[in-house]
Structure 1
Amino acid sequence: MITEHDGSSLATRIAHRMTPAVIQAVRARAEATGGCLQPVHLTGFRTVTDRAGRVLDHTAGVVYAPCGNRRESVCPACSDRYAADAFHLIRAGMTGGKTVPETVADKPRLFLTVTAPSFGTVHNRPATRTGRRLPCRCGEYHHDADTRLGTATDPEHYDYQGSVLWQGHAGELWHAFTVRLRREIAVAAGIRAKDFADHARLSYAKVAEYQRRGLVHFHAVIRLDGPAGPEDPAPAWADNALLEHATRAAVENTRVTRTLTIDGNTAKHVFTWGQQADIRPIRPAHAAEPDDGEITDRALAGYIAKYATKGTSTSEVPDRPIRSEKAIDALDVHPHHRRMITTAWALGANTDLAFLRKWAHMLGFRGHFLTKSIAYSITFTAIRGDRRTHQHLATLEAAGADAGTVLVVNHWKHTGNGYRHHEDRDIAAAIYEGKRQQRKEKLDKEAQP
């Protein structure tokens, strides 16, 4: 039995503390954050006064705000909110809405997936074209939950250094790809590359997803606009066939070359995409059934939004930076991922690669998980600003105030994070699960004929 220093049992302490009044207070705070498991504590006050100086509403003390972490492994509630925002951001760029014109749905659009090269054989579940399962290179048949999937079959001959170096330069490789793609589109259209901006504009949104081998691959929505952006019709010569041809050429020809000094040895390193590139046209959801290889815009928005919240959870690595080499030894991770973390930490001792220590917990990847070009669609800032405005107006309405005739003074400071007691966290988790189940039932009902 776990006991307190005064000898009382843990169960007795919980029963004493969780009175109806305490439960009601904890539930109210958890409801206010949507079931956030790592709420931000803000201490201070908010005062609403009218033009005559009369106080219409005054709130003081400690309030909880959502942590806003996008990782499902850290906070499922805030991860859900991030996924919903990502869905609207991505879909607005494909179908319009939220200040984006609906005509974007008629423009050339593709869904692209690019992967990392091979750095050695890994455990997998190969199959024939008919779906018949084949044995792995190790001679075994792996089940889908086998933790060895994606890990090196021969760790001593796997190129861990090459994989971590590629991962650390993946963001630069994507940038080089977008530059190359503009050039390939210009060539296909018969215009000069330097004149591309006068004829068209490339817009995209991409998300990074970890594969089981610990390396990221990128999923991206690519759209071709007129030079002014979403409001401008695409050039007459632009269609999906041209965009697909240019995209394939850009994937095959993109190179990033860096001269790096590692352990006193200076050499050139060339980073490219892997051979597995998937390019599919995007068809509007209201159109006829997609042809082979096509995908609807609504399905795609949900697909990408889901991966924007996964973080490193599929790679079984920590959610926070590593502070020392000893911390690596204490990690409860697969040996394959530990080798990648250790390699990133060791490479970070070199001046050219010092950034790898900061991102060792991410297996060397230092990019954002969801990025977009400026003109693709709205921003997360705009979406969150709309939500804050809605909540602000609802608060004023509850106080019987008019937003145009009141003065709102907020004075808050950060004083902590999370819950002090496990039972408080359990209540928040239950509230989140209830809200999630309600959303699921609503979606299931809407999907019924």
Structure 2
Amino acid sequence: MRHLPETDRDAIRLAQDPQFARWLEQITATGGCSHPVHLSGSTTTLDGTTGEILHHYDTRNEPGERLLVRCRNRRATICPACSRLHAGDTYHLVRAGLLGGRNVPATVRNRPRLFVTLTAPSFGPVHRAGERCRPRRDGGTCEHGRPLGCATAHAPDALVVGQPLCPDCYDYTAHVLWHAHASKLWDRFVIDVRRRLASSAGLVQSRFAQHARLSFARVAEYQKRAAVHVHAVVRLDGPNGSDDEPPAWATTNLLSHAVRDSARRVHVRTPHSPAVGELVLRWGDQIDARTLHTDGDGPDDDAVAAYVAKYVTKGASETGAGLDHLLTTWADIAVAPVSTHVRTLMRVCWRLGGLPEYEPLRLRAWTHTLGYRGHILTKSRAYSTTYAALRAERAHHMGHDDTPDAITERYWRYVGSGHTPGAALIAAGVADDLAESRRLGAEAQREEGSG
């Protein structure tokens, strides 16, 4: 055993512990979480009338006197087990807003609904995948002496895809500042869509909420050029949200026109900077608004929900457009495992973050995401259920809900996180086994349904 690797020695040590079986139960309960949170404390459930103790749990009887709970990190690069759970919750959250369920009426599937994609504008030409990248008959070079075109047929996974044809021509400053204002631009877009709908219906804009409600769920995704674009499910409801039918004038055609017009018109101005000036930031020219039909003519609702769920678990590092952890110094950027293009964006983000006029944007704190500081997934209140409700439902099915009319006293404190090398190895095996079980179960359900 002296010559075994450290990971194997640690795994054997754990397996020989008298409390290994209980420890393995905890690992399985977390789904094989890669970075579980360690808690110490107790929970006591009392009868609300008599004060009788109905249930008492204390970690003093647990291995290491601690309880392991999920880290709940959505990023697959950090915790595959928790990201799968998060993707499943996202799928059900988005699907409920499309087809009903989870306290959302099935009638929402007959409402005006769109699957919208909004992109970032161009900050300079980049290499593209396809038959020919950027063919130019006249050739030519930019002011820095680099070719203005590229006749190469790049594979989709080629490293050059998304990289600027000329880094010196590329507007890195605008790219970073667009990221920093992308969430504000989305807010302006939603407000403007409501205004256009109201105007089209002959309503005073301030009265729109009394007649209809715009509901949405949107996810941000990094493109190959390291610029964020947005996918969103947009739905028109009555004034009370999903429980209320929209007015007769609320049509899919009206919603589509409002979305396209707003995407082309809304803008955000950056704070004026002596070094940069004032930039006017807009959405890109590529705007897609596909109607979601109930007759199958168009994107499938389940496919849309799965598409959104897939991207919500991707971190910046997985897409090659940043990192999933903070950068605390200028020197950290030089050693970050990213492309030259992304490294340049990080350096510009750090430099701009040092200017007083951009201090509210907290660019240095968001250098690892290239200045983008919005949530990966956001939704309007009335779109569908919530992550909290989905987790409570899961806890109920697992028998973890509180007893009615009972009083629960909880005393918990954080005592650590993560795994030892051997524990990480065992947890990864548990996570793989659970994932394989889910896959086989899903296949069995599909075969049963097709039979």
TM-score (ref. length: structure 2): 0.88
Q: Which residue of 2 aligns with 1:245?
A: 257
CA distance in 2, matches of 1:229, 1:58: 41
Cα distance change on mapping 1:48 and 1:168 into 2, 3 Å: same
Q: Classify the secondary structure of the residue corresponding to 2:292.
A: strand
One-letter code aligned to 1:80: R
Q: Classify the secondary structure of the residue corresponding to 2:278.
A: strand
* Alignment partner of 1:339 out of 334, 341, 344: 344
Larger displacement relative to structure 2 (165-174 or 428-437) = 428-437
1:258 corresponds to 2:254 = no
Cα distance change on mapping 1:27 and 1:16 into 2, 3 Å: closer
Percent identity between matched residues is 38
1:134 corresponds to 2:144 = no
1:87 corresponds to 2:67 = no
Q: How far did 1:58 drift?
A: 3.4
1:107 corresponds to 2:119 = no
Q: Which residue of 2 aligns with 1:387?
A: 394
CA distance in 1, matches of 2:200, 2:241: 20
Q: Classify the secondary structure of the residue corresponding to 2:319.
A: helix
Q: Which residue of 2 aligns with 1:269?
A: 279
Cα distance change on mapping 1:125 and 1:199 into 2, 3 Å: same
Cα distance change on mapping 1:425 and 1:193 into 2, 3 Å: same
CA distance in 1, matches of 2:229, 2:8: 51
Q: Which residue of 1 aligns with 2:293?
A: 283
Contact 2:8-2:422 at 8 Å conserved across structures: no
* Alignment partner of 1:327 out of 325, 332, 335: 332
Superposed CA deviations along residues 124-147 of structure 1, whole A, max 9, x for unmatched, are 113xxxxxx224543322222212
CA distance in 2, matches of 1:203, 1:28: 41
CA distance in 2, matches of 1:73, 1:12: 23
CA distance in 1, matches of 2:203, 2:11: 75
Cα distance change on mapping 1:225 and 1:395 into 2, 3 Å: closer
One-letter code aligned to 1:430: G
* Alignment partner of 2:241 out of 219, 229, 232: 229
Alignment of 1:166-205 (within 5 A): 166-205=178-217
Contact 1:211-1:315 at 8 Å conserved across structures: no
Q: Which residue of 2 aligns with 1:446?
A: 445
Q: How far did 1:387 drift?
A: 2.9
CA distance in 2, matches of 1:323, 1:210: 22
Q: How far did 1:103 drift?
A: 1.4
Contact 1:311-1:369 at 8 Å conserved across structures: no
Gaps of 5+ in 2: 60-64, 135-148
Q: Which residue of 2 aligns with 1:399?
A: none
Gaps of 5+ in 1: 127-132, 397-402
Q: How far did 1:18 drift?
A: 4.2
Superposed CA deviations along residues 388-417 of structure 1, whole A, max 9, x for unmatched, are 3444x4588xxxxxx247554332100111
Cα distance change on mapping 1:29 and 1:302 into 2, 3 Å: same
CA distance in 1, matches of 2:37, 2:387: 20
Larger displacement relative to structure 2 (370-379 or 215-224) = 370-379
Q: How far did 1:23 drift?
A: 5.0
One-letter code aligned to 1:244: S
One-letter code aligned to 2:353: G
Q: How far did 1:9 drift?
A: 6.5
* Alignment partner of 1:27 out of 5, 8, 24: 24
Cα distance change on mapping 1:59 and 1:274 into 2, 3 Å: same
CA distance in 2, matches of 1:86, 1:376: 13
TM-score (ref. length: structure 1): 0.88
Q: Which residue of 2 aligns with 1:296?
A: 300
RMSD: 2.3
* Alignment partner of 1:71 out of 53, 75, 78: 75
Q: Which residue of 1 aligns with 2:375?
A: 368
CA distance in 2, matches of 1:77, 1:327: 29
Larger displacement relative to structure 2 (104-113 or 18-27) = 18-27
